[in-house]
Structures are given as structure tokens and as C-alpha cells.
Structure 1
């Protein structure tokens, strides 16, 4: 996978009136950290921003997530922690999330890197996974079943298809870091 873009990456949102996301991937001694922020204007009445950090182990299994959101409804914070397969949201155990390995911050292209790197699919393979999906800006968290399919490469880029029963399916390309370049109908990398 080749890319002329350097980290941090920036994406323009395609599904809203205006939106910009900037994020990076950091290698740490015991895992990886994803840092990102996003500002979104849906329409004249809905706008929000969020900032999030995801920490994983060396196998790309999520250990914790912190999301801060600002919207017309005020400021919210969510802290998710995964310990020994058990999930905790703001200190309270969340049984619904047991068995989830990844987190997905709604419409944030950076969190797609987690299953891409963790699953290591080859072209033609797919995997159904359960994730802790976080809605932004409400920061409600729920279990969501998602499918990642690795497609044949095109134009020197690796391609994937993402699908779930709530939002449908989308194709996207990634760079050599596993970071999204173009995400059909959602986001396009601008740097």
C-alpha cells in the first residue's frame, strides 16, 4: 500500500454540509494510540465537535476509548475501558458490549483502522465482528455487528467494504498505515 500523505491525516466529510477530521496513529511500547478530532456542521441547526483517543494493545485490541463532544446540548464525555473482556462505560459495567473487541466512533474514518489492522484480511476474505459503536454527539454506546471484506486492490491501493444492517455498505481505500483515503459517501482524505 503506497501513499503520498504523511501523518497526521485530514479528511473532509462528504455526508454533511461541512466537516473536517484530523487524526493520527501513534506507536507506543505496549500498543497503539489513535488521536483525532472532528468538527461537523450537519445543517443550520445541528453542529458539533468531538475529540477522541483510542488505546490498543500490540494486537490492535481496544483497551480504552475517551470521547469528548460539544454540541447544542452541551459538553459530554465518555470513557470506555475494556479489561479482561469486560467493558466499562464511565465506571459502570456494560454487559451488552461483552465479546466486542473494537470501538467505532460514528462516521470517524480513523476508527476503521482498528479492525483493518487487527484482522489482517487477504483479498476475498471477510469477517463479521461486534464493535462498541459510539454515536456522536450523544455519546450513546451500543453493540453493533459489522462486516469487513477485503476487496481486490485497485490503482495501487488496498480496498475494503464495510457493511452493517443500520447504515448499509460502503467501499473505501486505505494507505500503508491502514488509514482511510477515500470512504464512499462519507469522507475523503485531503492530506
Structure 2
């Protein structure tokens, strides 16, 4: 994959009645920073989530913060990590998360970039990993086992499948920076400067239905 360049990406959620997110991947001298926000309306209730992740030069997560504004008011979570050892906002260790190098925030698909870039899989390879999964809007934190499998490229995009025991298997296509274009049954990327929901003419509606 290419060296990442700072650029925002927007996604429409396809698993809820209304949902729109915006995120950006930003290189920094000592690693990478991910920033994203998303507004969702589901079942008549709405919420807004904003999150940021800092990762080192090997794409391992060092810090994650998530804030949610909903009918319950403002809730937030802050976690720090060093070498797979995690602590909460007060510095208390979280032994149930030991060994996790990635975080998965259940909002925009931006955090999928972290394991995709960190693992550096070749077509046909797969890897099972343990990640810190943060539910949105509840902000519940748990350890989840995930599998990433890389497939041959299609229509100029890299293709992966993602699987976990909570949600099943999904197909992902990503650009040269490892940022998701289409996430099956979850989100699809909006074309910059327009309203089209297909990244290219070659992306089929079946893949884009995320």
C-alpha cells in the first residue's frame, strides 16, 4: 500500500435509517492519527459520536477516545495502550485487554484501516487477531476475536473479508491508503464532491451494500 496521505472520507451508513460519517487519516512524526465523527438516527432515536485514535509507526494503537451525545447526554471513554497493555482514563490496568494491538470503534469504518495496515497481508493470507471493540452508542468495551483475509484486487481496489463471532463475515474494499471504500451491509463511501454512493463504476451494488 502507499504511504498514507491526509484526506477526509465520507460514508453513508446502510444498516440504519439515517447515518452519515466523516473521517480522516493523518500521518504524524511518531505515527498516525485517525479522527472521525458520525451522526445516526436509528429507531427514532439519534446520536452523534466523535472519536480519535493515535497509533505508532507500526500501526499499533496507543490511545483511543470516544464521545457520544445522545438522549442520555454526553458519555465518553478514554483508553491508553503500550505494547498491548491497556489502561483506562484513571490509569488503571485493564487485564482483559492484554495483547490487543488494535481498536475497533463501531462507528465509521475508519478503524478497520489499523489492522489492514498493521498486518500487511498478501493476497490469500489471513490473520486472527484480538482487538478492543468499543460499541456505539453504549461505549461498552470488550475483547473480540477477529479474522482478516486478503483477496486479489478488484477494479483497482484491495479486497478483504472480515469475520468476528459477534457479527459474522463482511466483505470490505479499500483504497491505496487502506481506507474503506465499501463495507458490506454497514457503510459505503461517498464520492468526493458529489452525492454518488459508488466509488467507481466497477464497484457493484452487492459489495457497496454495507
TM-score over 0.5 (shorter chain) = yes
- The aligned counterpart of 1:49 is 48
Say if 1:185 and 1:163 are closer, same or farther in 2 by CA, change over 3 A: same
- Please give the TM-score of this superposition, normalised by the length of structure 2: 0.86
Distance in 2 (CA, whole Å) between partners of 1:85 and 1:24 is 24
Contact kept? 2:23, 2:108, Cα under 8 Å: no
Distance in 2 (CA, whole Å) between partners of 1:181 and 1:84 is 30
- Please give the TM-score of this superposition, normalised by the length of structure 1: 0.94
Name the structure with the higher strand share: 1
Distance in 1 (CA, whole Å) between partners of 2:148 and 2:133 is 15
Q: Secondary structure at the match of 1:8?
A: strand
1:7, CA displacement in angstroms? 1.8
Contact kept? 2:49, 2:68, Cα under 8 Å: yes
Superposition pairs for residues 13-162 of structure 1, below 5 Å? 13-44=13-44, 46-91=45-90, 92-162=92-162
Unaligned runs of 5+ in 1: none
* Runs ≥4 residues deviating over 2 A: none
Distance in 1 (CA, whole Å) between partners of 2:7 and 2:176 is 11
Greater Cα offset, 83-92 or 109-118: 83-92
1:108, CA displacement in angstroms? 2.4
Tell me which of the two structures has the higher relative contact order, counting C-alpha pairs closer than 8 angstroms and 6 or more residues apart.
1
Q: Secondary structure at the match of 1:117?
A: helix
Aligned-residue CA RMSD (Å): 1.4
Distance in 2 (CA, whole Å) between partners of 1:167 and 1:83 is 28
Count of residue pairs brought into register by the alignment: 187
Q: Secondary structure at the match of 2:7?
A: coil
Greater Cα offset, 80-89 or 19-28: 80-89
Contact kept? 1:129, 1:146, Cα under 8 Å: yes
CA offsets 1:99-150 (integer angstroms, 9 cap, x no match)? 0000000142000000000000011100000000001111111000000000
